[in-house]
Structure 1
Amino acid sequence: MTLARVTLAAASLLPLAAGATTVRVHYESPKDGVTIRGDKGPMSWSKGAAAKSDDAKVWTYTWPDDLGDVVMKPTLGDEKVAIGGTYKLAAGSTRDIYPFFGAPFGKVKIIPGFASPQLKNSRNLRIYLPPSYDENRAKRYPVLYMHDGQNLFDAKTAAFGVEWGVDETVNRLVATGIMEEIIVVGIDNTPERIAEYTTCCDPQYGGGQLDTYQRFVVDTVKPYIDSTLRTMPAKESTAIMGSSLGGLASVWIAQKNAAVFSKAASVSGSFWWNKQEFVTSLPPRLPVRFYLDAGTVKDGLEDTVKMRDAMLKQGYRQDADLFYHVAEGATHNEKSWAARVDKPLTWFFPWQ
């Protein structure tokens, strides 16, 4: 037997190196440390296993691959369990997570008089920052851009005294582990709302400033948000949503900027606009996930169905890159939109 064969035979008798599954918890905790609770091995749901850190900012815990998939959750010290859902780690994987342990309530801040060089006007930006934004400064966030910003968070500024309650809905969905934390950027409308949210030219309402408005959103608002907040600026983490004409604008902006937005939601979209131009002039299928819905009470359901059918003919697939929903009993107002805004939110940003 040659030396090479002897060496190979000897190596085959040695135990294989054990693989390791690793979680890295990004959270600054110089005093309490971080422990890991889980459903297998040295972890349990009643007591945490200590993670290690060299800098009290990134905490690492490792277990053997032969435990298989493991469900776990970090704990601050051994008492404060992270807010939100659990994390499932596949055997052999390494995962970075960014938890928070404080109250699950985000906050809304207003940027007044934000100027649009494209439209030659200004408006407020209303920005929802998620619960962990100040607590865990290592974390970055997906961003959802929404139109009609004054209707999203505060009944006092809403057009008809009823808000969407987007902040309350996101808080609840995050706290219960149904969706990821996100930043929401509400862009106020102006007296030129109809023109800014539409293409040219509807026989009754005219319109025609949507191309300029989309340049404002893409070239001015988004760069400002990405440069001043801890965002995840890539397309995969960027969505746009609106209702009525704002739903129309969201679809069109995503169609024109498929390299910027990966998700777009039209809630009660006005697909009747300009003799159903959006339905009859639908571009080829794009790498964007679209959410469409309408209520059953005077809410343009027939036009939305036609848009849905046109998209299916272009190759979009229900529940894959198209989510179509009929809201029974819902009509065309903020109360109805608030009642179902959780659907696009959880489809776009599910708990990972």
Structure 2
Amino acid sequence: MAENYKIIEEKIISGFLKREVAVTFYVPTVIYGNDLIDLLLLNDGQDVAKMNFVQILSDAQQKQTRAKLVVVAIEASLERVAEYGVVGRPDFKQRGKKAGLYSKFILEELFPFILKKLAQPIQGRIGFAGFSLGGLSAFDIAWNNGDIFDVVGVFSGSFWWRKKDLKAGYTDADRILHAMIDESSTKPDLKFWLMTGTEDETSDRNGNNIIDSIDDTVDVIKSLLRKDYKRPNDIRYYEKVGGKHNPETWAAVMPAFLAWAFGD
């Protein structure tokens, strides 16, 4: 049923990023004026291109009638490690120093472009998801803009993002995203889908025989629970046995995310 979706490739000149941004729209072939529209933004659009994404979307759309899902995949550039991160909190190597500019691009340039392109209001759910460092970025932007976003999806998220090198007296308190959640005075009206693969990596900082990507993700969940989010209503954790840090694994779990985020 791949014909249920069409692909539209666009270029946006970003004044904030001082570069051209490539975005790919995945749009249902038929959208009626009275259709409810859901929207999903995806960081690391270059990874989406490695999936059979049109088929994944078409299969997902066949299983639900609540709304039509439009996906906009944003391709990363050579500035990826500068633009992705936590706004105002670069890591110990100053990676993520342009995260604030990237957030402005999403909110002030990409969103108006999408609305003009669709020529139809988005009255359904709005989600932001990403892979690895793109997942960290999606989480951060959604967290700080809970009035816009409804759901967050993080695939193998870079929740290790830290303000201190491991060799410089690092402790878990140096993880940037966890601190952002813990220190936040607000509780955005969001739902969270967090995924790891059991073979995401081999690193094990604390020697507890659990890879860091799982430890860091579980600790994000603990931070969310301290904010009084509830499982399973607000938080869904998906651990893929044998899952690796690659588009093949993320493609395999994408249907579960779409069903959770945008299902009936």
Contact 2:2–2:55, Cα closer than 8 Å, also in 1: no
Amino acid at match of 1:218: L
- How far, CA to CA, are the matches of 1:270 and 1:316 in structure 2? 21
Q: Deviations over 1:97-136 (max 9, x none)?
A: xxxxx98520111013x11111111121100011323xx3
1:1-352 aligned at under 5 Å gives the runs 105-112=4-11, 114-133=12-31, 136-152=32-48, 154=49, 163-177=50-64, 180-199=67-86, 200-204=89-93, 206-234=95-123, 237-274=125-162, 275-282=174-181, 283=184, 284-299=186-201, 300-351=213-264
Q: CA deviation at 1:177?
A: 3.7
How many residues get paired?
A: 237
Structure 2 residue runs without a partner (length 5+)? 163-173, 202-212
Structure 1 residue runs without a partner (length 5+)? 1-101, 155-162
Amino acid at match of 1:109: I
- How far, CA to CA, are the matches of 2:241 and 2:66 in structure 1? 24
Evaluate the alpha carbon distance shift between residue 343 and residue 246 of structure 1 in structure 2; reply closer, same or farther with a 3 A threshold: same
- How far, CA to CA, are the matches of 1:228 and 1:215 in structure 2? 19
Counterpart of 1:273 in 2: which secondary structure?
coil
Q: Deviations over 1:1-45 (max 9, x none)?
A: xxxxxxxxxxxxxxxxxxxxxxxxxxxxxxxxxxxxxxxxxxxxx
Q: CA RMSD in A?
A: 2.0
Amino acid at match of 2:39: V
Evaluate the alpha carbon distance shift between residue 177 and residue 201 of structure 1 in structure 2; reply closer, same or farther with a 3 A threshold: closer
Higher RCO, Cα 8 Å, sep 6+: 2
Between 188-197 and 171-180, report the one with greater CA deviation: 171-180
Match for residue 21 of structure 1? none
Contact 1:254–1:264, Cα closer than 8 Å, also in 2: yes
- How far, CA to CA, are the matches of 2:219 and 2:114 in structure 1? 35
- How far, CA to CA, are the matches of 1:217 and 1:231 in structure 2? 19
TM-score by length of 2: 0.83
Evaluate the alpha carbon distance shift between residue 174 and residue 298 of structure 1 in structure 2; reply closer, same or farther with a 3 A threshold: closer
Higher normalized helix content (fraction of residues): 2
TM-score by length of 1: 0.63
Counterpart of 2:263 in 1: which secondary structure?
coil
Contact 1:240–1:250, Cα closer than 8 Å, also in 2: yes
Contact 1:290–1:322, Cα closer than 8 Å, also in 2: yes
Q: Deviations over 1:295-347 (max 9, x none)?
A: 11134111111111111111111121111111111011100000001122111
Q: Deviations over 1:44-92 (max 9, x none)?
A: xxxxxxxxxxxxxxxxxxxxxxxxxxxxxxxxxxxxxxxxxxxxxxxxx
The runs of at least 4 aligned residues of structure 1 exceeding 6 Å deviation read none
Counterpart of 1:142 in 2: which secondary structure?
strand
> Identity over the aligned pairs, expressed in percent?
26
